[in-house]
Structure 1
Amino acid sequence: MNEQGGNGRAAQPPELFEEAYIEIIGAREHNLQDIDVRIPRNKLVVITGISGSGKSSLAFDTIYAEGQRRYMETFTAYARQFIGEMERPDVEQITGLSPVISIEQKTTSRNPRSTVGTVTEVYDFMRLLFARAGEAWSWKTGKKMVRYTEEQMREQILHDFSGRRALLLAPLIRGRKGHYRELFEQVRKQGYAKVRVDGEILDIVPGMQVDRYKVHDIEVVVDRLRISPERAERLHASLQTTLKMGNGLVQLLDPDSGELRNYSRHLMDPETGLSYEEPSPNTFSFNSPYGACPHCKGLGQVNRVDLQRVIPDDSKSINQQGIVPFGEVRDNITFKQLRALAKKYGFTFSTPIRDIPEKALNVILYGGEKKEKGQKSELAVTMSYASQNEYVYNLAYEGLLNMLQRWYENSSSEKIRRWAEEFMVVDTCPECQGMRLKRESLHFKIDGKNIAELAEMDLSELAEWFEGLEERLSERQRAIARDVLKEIRLRLGFLLHVGLDYLTLNRPARTLSGGESQRIRLATQIGSQLTGITYILDEPSIGLHQRDNHRLIEALKELTHIGNTVLVVEHDKDIMLASDYL
């Protein structure tokens, strides 16, 4: 082992020798031949050599393994019985070893929910930024959402409806099915006489209910008054009652013109009354039900049945397994339904799939036409039993593609799910267009961008966007966002420093190469600002363009400058020349 630029060993005072070096005595792990090594601490040290020379045996199987073993020994005996004992590496003695962190070449995570943004925590800080400083826009009208205090609400109502008669309405039900008999009775007992149901003012009568199968909007008429400054006290009292009943939402209706306006303590579209929940960091998390797209559950992709896999060869018949998921013809309910379809539409199980009438094939694949409530399916299926009796049932046919989708999504059997998956392809989610978040979350914006659009930028472009962001924010937003922006810029800087400027935050972690994963972990460690650590890296230059080598070297040097030892197993000439010890 040679130190670059001179023999540092002789320069060390004897009393500081053990503190200045990691000393390995008698290392015999794998193909190491009882070697002794002294490695200077708080330096960039490169371990190089031909294949099989013992580089990894020294770095990982000896130094890292001993560091892990010592860490495990800090646990109580009770805890160690669950972890298991770690075998001591084949070495006489190691002294001067600080806590060890290995940054190896392996994919960061196989979890489909893990991305560059979540692994590096940049996305977590962006979620915090959007929760605090994001501006909400209506997904219905594209207008900016507003919220009022009670005082602002009162002043706005006096301005909007001055001199006009108005009904104060407290929304109770919005876009939901049900008969609401109990709700009407409860409102009647509270002393209210009128409600507005689906836009129509009605008297509340005992036993009142609505069609349970239709979607309804129901508001209580809390007060009817002429809006003027002279009636400000009455407006104030009625407004308080309405806000309490309507959970912070008030509607004012001009009975003469039909004009309806919405006012809310929450984020609301003043034109349509659409309201959003108060944003939190989870609102922008695709790993949380509060933020994830409900259709793809935050994955950005969905599995859908592929007709080409279901019918790969339409010259075959059902008897020839032309519709693959059906398999061989059997005597079960599915084939009884198919026989009933064949009888109804005039084909047989020997008819090539391409010659089956189009309407019949559509029913086989997608199911029969929807029937009105109370009507039975027209598909008559004959069922015979051991008693020799035959019965004819009117059964609805779900459709093969619908069945496959249902089995894949709802089956508790992993075997059935895997079988159904054979007939599926992965598609971009049609609801969120691959952005993973629900539509409300995608309509919170900063400087015209939502969080998913930022996650699609490459890191160099994203860093540039964040660089001048304060100038484009309001004074309130700047005060809120200052500390969060500092953390985001810091982490993006570390990622750019290790040559990852081409990645995007929404890049799945499982698609990263070993070298990319290693450099991400390196950037994360630099960001953690830990000191007194021994870092061990395995060929971090792999997959890195030669022009970005200097950035990687600077990052490795940065770790040593803050008081860490960096051991690198490497063949790259530039890194070897830049090392403090080789």
Structure 2
Amino acid sequence: MSTTTSYSTAKDGAAQDGTARHVADSHDLIRVHGARENNLKDVTVAIPKRRLTVFTGVSGSGKSSLVFSTIAAESQRMINETYSAFVQGFMPRMDRPDVDVLDGLTTAIVVGQERLGANPRSTVGTVTDANAMLRILFSRLGQPHIGSPQAFSFNVGSISGAGAVTIERGGRTVKERREFSVTGGMCPRCEGTGRISDIDLTQLYDDTKSMNEGPFTIPGWGSDGWYGRIYRDSGFFPPDKPIRDFTKRELDALLYKEPTRIKAEGINVTYEGLIPKLQKSMLSKDREAMQPHIRAFVDRAVTFATCPECEGTRLTEAARSSKIAGISIADACAMEIRDLAKWVRGLDEPSAAPLLASLQHTLDSFVEIGLGYLSLDRPSGSLSGGEAQRTKLIRHLGSSLTDVTYVFDEPTTGLHPHDVTRMNDLLLRLRDKGNTVLVVEHEPETIAIADHVVDLGPGAGTAGGHVCFEGTVDGLRASGTVTGRHLDDRAALKESVRTPTGHLEIRGARTHNLRDVDVDIPLGVLVVVTGVAGSGKSSLLHGSIPRDAGVVAVDQTPIRGSRRSNPATYTGLLDPIRKAFAKANGVKPALFSSNSEGACPACGGAGLIFTELGFMETVSTVCEECEGKRFQASVLEYRLGEGDDARDISEVLAMPVAEAAEFFGAGAARTPAAHAILTRLADVGLGYLTLGQPLTTLSGGERQRLKLATHMAEKGGIYVLDEPTTGLHLADVEQLLGLLDRLVDSGKSVIVIEHHQSVMAHADWIIDLGPGAGHDGGRVVFEGTPAELVAARSTLTGEHLADYVGA
């Protein structure tokens, strides 16, 4: 590790003063002065360039606000401003962060945990350009030769026709009609998706009802909703006639009619049959990225099957017939990438040497970063957050750029302890090439390699936003901050484990890389499923456990939300609150929604006025009419509660969860439905969040726990959780373990996919998959108690857990 520049460190867990640290050469620093994004409270820091700086602190302390919303955002905004005004008109507009001074910025490359997109046509190969290189390779070397690279693309169909072109002839411009033909590789049967679908009409509507009676059972299609009203007023069928009595023509109009302009409730709108409408609005999206209730509907209503014509490869027969050394492009994309890398390395074709070298580098980068078990045909939407982040990193590994600022959001997410060392090596390599590396992280092993640490806190939300410590890792350890105190935490093995109340049998599991796995999962206890990334953990639980009424699954799909979405709307908390206000004041519940009748007319319920200034940044100002409260003045006159404790709706939405739980738990404002939701939010450690805080300002860990709190309301005997420690500070893991214990002690069965060793040590039973990833995994390599796993040391997990607990 390179030598660290010396900095003065904070005493008693707090920064010495509010000024940036003095260093002889200010060009070697990124200086932030007076940062106030989200919950930051005039934060001032000096970050050394060409060093590895790790930002620590509890979830919600302000790490992402400082690193992503301030430093990285301003770097990207300033780069955008170097383009012409014309080009900027086509680029996303970015507001300047709320900060007084930002000096010493360099070009920022953000490698975050955002999913790679929900487009079902997007694969690992398409998002990394590996597919593009393969298509060129097969168009040059494949036999028989079938055409250009697009002949191997499952996103390009074969079309022909004629059109007018404008050309110069004899000094004048003329138009000519010319024939054209495009030969693409898209399978015509499945249109390049690799699967076909069949829709169960009984899941779309109740055919005993008429349009007036609201027949649709599709989420969001109620009789009072926009879709319900369009179909009712379409004029293509009588609104009071039950669907089962429709004529053939009327039923065809309901199900299949092509887009047609109609007038509904005096408004010109486009009517479209149910089937094509659902194909576009729901079925064209990746299932893994859908909201839970939409996904549940799709699972009920749609049956998916592998396309029989292309056998799931997405490609035409011609594209599959062209081969290199006996391998088609479909075969190549289906290989594990590490096997594909070996195959490419064996190709000796001087005419394609530069292409082969570039493809080889990309494939080797996958292997180097621990993703060699993936295949290029893997849908990108199915990757975990950690896999997605590492996939984005691939294009930067061989870059010759230096003096770049790389920004990482918990790069160890989803990594087995065995793989963390490899990620640390990559971060250090980027630094040693002369780059500035900024990492938001909770993993002690990654914090340990930092040249410089910035610890934020001391708490979360309004209790955070301060720099508690700046300096070395040893200084952090001795600082007395929350992070410093917990940095060397080690959980002990439980002295006794619970006795199972039964078993969930899984037989012959073959999802993805699983090899006819037979396993009995104990019920009534805390079960942790472990193994390296790609060993088959998610395939075993999400692919083999039946999703019946008794199973509540909380996976890693991101929660959706605009700046109008907040914890109250996402969890359904706002509904009982609105009803409580309405009942107490004798008015309609809609008045207490800032997205409905109660919205401030000046800002439309946003609380802010946005002024567009062309290619310059959009200016947002607090609405003068409602002073940012989002509601009409008349609505704020209605109050809930008695005497001095009474609150209006804006004051309730400004409450932290913990305060709101007390407010709705007793007295005149007592609302059991609201109190139950608030209790669940507090149980997952979100007591500091305000009810009306925009979801867009929540950290990744906060969003994960918000989803967990929502799923806890579902009635089920088995909870399946996918890496619930994601985004959790070391100090918060203990609270999560307490929550898992409470779930089990209440009679639930809890099954957790997890890499965090304190969760492993706390388990009653461990199922370890492996021994490796991809085709080297897919087997159960250990079943038993954590103590037995530590004593055996027979697997990678066992070795790391033994070292962790000091056995």
1:431 to 302, 305, 309: 309
How big is the shift at 1:327? 5.6
The code of the aligned residue for 1:513 comes to S
Identify the residue that residue 438 of structure 2 maps to in structure 1.
567
Pairing 1:37-48 to 2, within 5 Å after superposition: 37-48=45-56
User: For residue 256 of structure 2, what is the amino acid of its counterpart?
Assistant: W
Q: Which of 363, 372, 375 is equivalent to 1:501?
A: 372
Q: 1:51 to 1:481 in 2, by over 3 A?
A: same
CA contact (8 A) 2:111 2:393 kept: yes
- Residue 407 of structure 1 aligns with which residue? 256
Selected match of 2:30 from 1, 22, 26: 22
Could you state the TM-score of these two structures normalised by the residue count of structure 1?
A: 0.55
The offset of 1:42, in angstroms, is 1.9
State the alpha-carbon separation in 2 of the partners of residues 579 and 481 from structure 1. 42
**1:454 and 1:115, CA in 2 relative to 1: closer, same or farther beyond 3 A?**
same
**Residue 190 (structure 2) pairs with residue 296 (structure 1):** yes
The answer on 1:126 being equivalent to 2:134 is yes
Residues of 2 paired with 1:405 and 1:574: CA distance?
Answer: 59
Counterpart residue type for residue 332 of structure 1: T
- The one-character-per-residue Cα deviations of 1:27-64 (angstroms, maximum 9, x if unpaired) are 23333232321212122221112223221111012101
Matched residue SS, 1:89: coil
Q: Do 1:67 and 1:97's aligned partners in 2 also have CA atoms closer than 8 Å?
A: yes
Say whether the 8 Å CA contact 1:106–1:513 is kept in structure 2.
no
409, 413, 416: which one pairs with 1:545?
416
Code of the aligned partner of 2:345? E
> Once superposed, what is the RMSD of the aligned Cα atoms?
3.5
Contact kept, 8 Å, 1:497 with 1:555, in 2: the verdict is no
Question: What is the CA-CA distance between 1:413 and the residue it aligns to?
Answer: 5.0
- Contact map agreement 2:125 2:377 (CA 8 A) in 1: yes
Q: Which runs of 5+ in 1 are unaligned?
A: 137-266, 268-276, 314-320, 336-399, 471-477
SS of alignment partner, residue 83 of structure 2: coil
Q: Could you tell me how far 1:414 is from its partner in structure 2? A: 4.5
Give the 3-state SS of the residue equivalent to 1:469 in structure 2. coil
Q: For residue 125 of structure 1, give the secondary structure of its aligned residue in structure 2.
A: helix
Q: Which amino acid aligns with 2:401?
A: L
Report the more deviating stretch, 58-67 or 17-26. Answer: 17-26
Asked if residue 460 in structure 1 is aligned to residue 338 in structure 2, the reply is: yes
Match of 2:382 among 474, 495, 511: 511
Once the two structures are TM-superposed, the CA of residue 81 in structure 1 deviates from its matched residue by 5.5
Give matches, 1:121-520, under 5 Å: 121-136=129-144, 277=146, 279-289=147-157, 290-306=184-200, 328-330=243-245, 332-333=247-248, 407=256, 413-416=271-274, 417-418=276-277, 424-470=302-348, 478-520=349-391
Cα deviation 1:66-86 (Å, max 9, x = unaligned): 112212322334554665763
Matched, 1:103 2:111: yes
CA distance in structure 2 between the partners assigned to 1:124 and 1:49 by the alignment? 41
Residue deviations 1:82-104 (CA, integer Å, cap 9, x gap): 65763322222111110112221
Counterpart in 1 of 2:101? Answer: 93
Q: List per-residue Cα deviations over 1:137-177 (Å, max 9, x = no partner).
A: xxxxxxxxxxxxxxxxxxxxxxxxxxxxxxxxxxxxxxxxx
Q: Deviations over 1:334-386 (max 9, x none)?
A: 59xxxxxxxxxxxxxxxxxxxxxxxxxxxxxxxxxxxxxxxxxxxxxxxxxxx
Q: Deviations over 1:395-432 (max 9, x none)?
A: xxxxx9xx699939999955522368776422211110
What is the identity, as a one-letter code, of the residue corresponding to 1:459?
I
| Alignment check: 8 A CA contact 1:23 1:38 kept | yes
1:357 alignment partner in structure 2: none
Give the total of aligned pairs: 355
| Amino acid across the alignment from 1:439 | E
- CA 281–37 in structure 1, closer or farther in 2 if over 3 Å, else same: same
Hey, what does 2:407 align to over in structure 1? 536
Q: Is 1:34 matched with 2:59?
A: no
CA deviation after TM superposition for structure 1 residue 282, in Å: 1.0
Q: CA distance change for structure 1 residues 311 and 47 in 2, over 3 Å: closer, same or farther?
A: closer
1:36 corresponds to which letter in structure 2?
A: T
Mapped to 2, the partners of 1:303 and 1:118 lie a distance apart of 23
- The structure number with the bigger radius of gyration is 1
What is the alpha-carbon distance in structure 2 between the residues aligned to residue 333 and residue 303 of structure 1? 23
State the structure with bigger RCO (CA 8 A, min sep 6), 1 or 2: 1
C-alpha separation between the residues in 2 aligned to 1:454 and 1:284?
A: 12
- Cα 1:83/1:466, change in 2 over 3 Å: closer
Amino acid at match of 1:542: T
Displacement of 1:566 in angstroms is 1.3
Partners in 2 of 1:6 and 1:102 — Cα distance?
A: 24
Change (3 A) 1:527 1:293: farther
Residues 276-305 of structure 1: CA deviation (Å, up to 9, x unaligned): x4x221111111121111111211112234
Separation in structure 2 between the aligned mates of residue 72 and residue 311 of structure 1, nearest angstrom: 49
Whether the 8 Å contact between 2:256 and 2:273 is mirrored in structure 1 is no
Distance 1:103 1:482, change over 3 A: same
**Alpha-carbon distance between aligned partners in 1 of 2:257 and 2:369, rounded to the nearest angstrom:** 42
Separation of aligned partners in 2, 1:57 and 1:96: 18
Map of 2:576 onto structure 1: none
Partner Cα separation in structure 2 for residue 548 and residue 533 of structure 1: 25
Q: Distance in 2 between matches of 1:414 and 1:515?
A: 39
